[in-house]
Amino acid sequence: MRTVSLTVNDVPHEFELDPRELLVYVLRERLGLTGTVVGCDTSSCGACTVLLDGESVKSCTVLGVQADGHEITTIEGLAESGALHPLQESFHEHHALQCGYCTSGMVLAAVSLLAENPSPSEDEIRHALEGNICRCTGYQNIVDAIGAVAQ
């Protein structure tokens, strides 16, 4: 067991963690932040994407102990003072989600993309999302939702 300090959605936490414990389960099972979900066991799908110090990471590939001292943002922490993030709004307006299982990861991957590249081309958006799989939407509305916020 190791003592780990994390700030999640601006709230500081301290845990005793088994060094094997993945960040995604710390979020889901210790903090009840079930908006972050698991879609695979090969770090392929991106459903578990969160922001670590503002950059997107797949929380199924990060150990809880590796996140020690870092700031995590999950989908639950994205809205500010009750107002949805513009990307959340845009996903809604563009019908960029169906079952919604990939959505948390998609939105956070998009937040990270736009932080790095505020005006990506459609092609850049498509390539930036290569690590996030959606089986429902055929991607077009996701790409458009991100494009609309980028402009």
Partner 1 sequence: MSAPTEVEVGRAIGARVERKEDQKLLQGQAEWVDNMHVPGMVYLGIVRSPYAHARITKVDVTPALAHADVVGAWSGADIADEWQGSLPCAWLPTEDTNAPEHKPVAVDKARYAGDAVAVIAATSRGAAEDAAELVEVEYEPLPVVVDPEAALADGAPLVHEEFGTNRCYTWTLEEGEIDRLFAEADVTVSERYRQNRLIPNAIEPRAVFVTAIPANGEFTLWSTTQVPHIARVTLSGVTGIPEAKLRVIAPDVGGGFGSKLNVYAEEALALAVARMLGRPVKWTETRSEGYLSTIHGRDQVQEIELAATSEGKILAVRTKLTASMGAYLQLVTPGIPLLGAWLYAGCYDVQGYSFECTGVFTNTVPTDAYRGAGRPEATYAIERAVDALARKLGMDPVEIRRLNFIREFPAAIKAGLTIDSGDYDASLDVALEQAGYESVRAEQRARRTAGDPKRLGIGLSTYVEMCGLAPSNILGAIRYSGGGWEAATIRCLPTGTVQVLTGSTPHGQGHETSWSQIVSDRLGYEIDEVEVLHGDTAVVPLGMDTYGSRSLAVGGVALYYAADRIAEKGKKIAAHLMEVDEAQVDHVRGTFHGPETSITLKEVAFAAWTAHNLPDGVQPGLEETYVYDPPNFSWPAGAHVAIVEVDTETGAVELLRYIAVDDVGTIVNPIIVEGQIHGGLAQGVAQALYEEAIYDEDGNLLTGNMVSYLVPSAAEFPRWELHHTETPSPTNPMGVKGVGETGAIASPPAVMNAIVDALAEDGITDLDMPATPERVWRALEEARR
Using CB under 8 A as the criterion, which residues of the chain lie in contact with partner 1 when the complex forms?
20, 28-29, 33-42, 44-45, 47, 74-76, 78-79, 82-84, 88-89, 91-93, 95, 97-104, 107, 122, 125-127, 129-143
14's torsion region: left (phi>0), alpha (psi -120 to 50) or beta?
Answer: beta
> Between residues 90 and 137, which has the closer beta carbon with respect to ligand FES?
137
> Residue 60, interface with ligand FES (CB under 6 A)?
yes
- Output Rg (C-alpha) for the chain, integer angstroms: 15
Q: Which does 107 bind (CB under 5 to 8 A by kind): partner 1, ligand FES, none?
A: partner 1
CB atoms within 10 A of CB 31: 19
Contact between residue 109 and residue 96 where contact means Cβ atoms under 8 Å apart: no
> Between residues 69 and 121, which has the closer beta carbon with respect to partner 1?
121
